[in-house]
Each structure stands twice: as structure tokens, then as C-alpha cells.
Amino acid sequence: MRFKIIGVYPREGKRWQIGEEKAEELERKGRFILDNGIVKLKIYEFEDKDTFSAQPNLLDNHGTTDTAQKMLTGILGRPEIFDNPKPIELIKHLISIICNQSDIILDFFAGSGATGHAVWDLNKEDGGNRKFILVQLDEEVQDEEIKKEFPTVADICIERLRRVSGKYKKESEGQIIKNDMDFGFKVFKLDKSNFNLKDEFEFDPSEDKEELKKKYLEWLGMWVDQPLVPGWKEIDVIYEVMLKEGLNLNSKIEKINIKEN
């Protein structure tokens, strides 16, 4: 790209590293200086401090699948329980250069739960308040021996987080971790509704009116007599209502007695 910046063309065999439109914008702002015939861009002190340098393409000093495997074995007490787990050192590094200390980190392929572990570990180090959402299908574990203890990949993820959470809570109580941090987590599973939802009442206009009336009253009475499916659980209904009402799933749940209820 050869055009003038503050009246100067690039030197022979050289070209500007920015486009003409961007150069014109910077020139209007007075961001260029001429130093011994060379056009230079002013860099202010605050920009220099707040600017990230480019990250290398090869990240070879932030753990390996081997170190991650050893860590997972130490946590769960079983060797090679999960193939190619991600090292938390690598995830912590990526989070630190991408996310703020109060961001929510979403992992759609949670696997062994390394992302959740990494978020907690990073918060522990720098006092951050990052949160995580991990998503994992109930993928069946293939190893028959491991399956006896962990039927699905999701079970491995949950147990890892449970044990890491317990370890960090003990450290927190012993003041090894000095800031007041919450290492709790909740587990949700996609399931059918607890409410006895039915499609709209369907009827055949050619049916006998009395028979049709009887069917309609039975359908309507279902909502009064049996609004919830058999085997429903109180906590499941609470969370479903929270979801339907758009409430935060981290909201505090408290039981209050009102008269006899």
C-alpha cells in the first residue's frame, strides 16, 4: 500500500502496514510524527500498558495431556479414567488473556470438568469472581470397570468438581485461601416437565355432544386433580418454575411456613 502519510510516501521497497482509511483517521487525530524522515505512530503511555502483545501460535509450556492425566488420577484415585483430559494450566492461561475477572466461562464440551477446575484455581490465585457453566451429554462410559463407578462422562465431571470443591473449601477454612470464595456448584439435568402438560383439547365435531362434554370435563379436571406428574419432587418443581419465570438459578431458596402451610 503506497500513499502519503503526513506528506511522505513509504521508503523504497517498503509499504505502510495500515490501510489508507485508517491512516487518514490517525493523521486527523495528529497521531503521526516524522523522525529523521521516518513516519512513526505516537504510542501513549496508557495504551502501552493496556495493550496485549500477540500470543505465540504454539503454547507448549502450559501443561500436557500427560500432566492432566496425572492430576485427574490424583483427584479421582483411578488411572486413565478419561482419555486426553485438558490441562488446567492451559485453560487458565487462555481464560486470563480472554476473560475479565467477573466473566462467566461457558464450556459446551465439559468432559472431565477441567474448565470448572481451572476457573476455581484461577480465582484462588488472583481473587477473581469468575463463574462457569459446563455442558456435558450423558455419554456412556465404555470401560466396563470404570462404568461401575461412573456410568457416564457427566458423572466423571461432577465427581471431579465435587472433590476439588471439597479440597478448596478445606483450604479456605484453614485460611490457606485468604479471600472469601464460594466453591459450590449446582447440577441440572435436562428432563421432562413436572407439570401435567397436555396438548390443547382435541375434539371431533361429529362426536355425540354429551360424550364430547364428558371428555372435555375429564380433560379440564386433570388440571385441578393432578396438576403435577406422578413422582414429582419439590425441588424439581421449584427450579422448573424459576426457569419459566426467568429467575437466576443461583437465587437463594428458602422454606417459609405460613400458618399451617
The H or E element containing residue 33 is strand 32-35
How big is the CA angle at 138 (ends 135 and 143), to the nearest 5 degrees?
125
Neighbouring CB atoms inside 10 A of 154's CB total: 21
- Per the CB < 8 A criterion, the answer to whether 130 and 123 are in contact is yes
**How does pLDDT run across 58-108, given as a tens digit for each residue?**
777 888 999 999 999 999 998 889 988 999 999 999 999 889 999 999 999
Residue 195 CA to its chain's centroid (Å)? 29
Specify the pTM.
Answer: 0.67
**How does pLDDT run across 186-210, given as a tens digit for each residue?**
999 988 888 876 656 667 777 888 8
Q: Helix (H, G, I), strand (E, B), or coil: what is residue 76?
A: helix
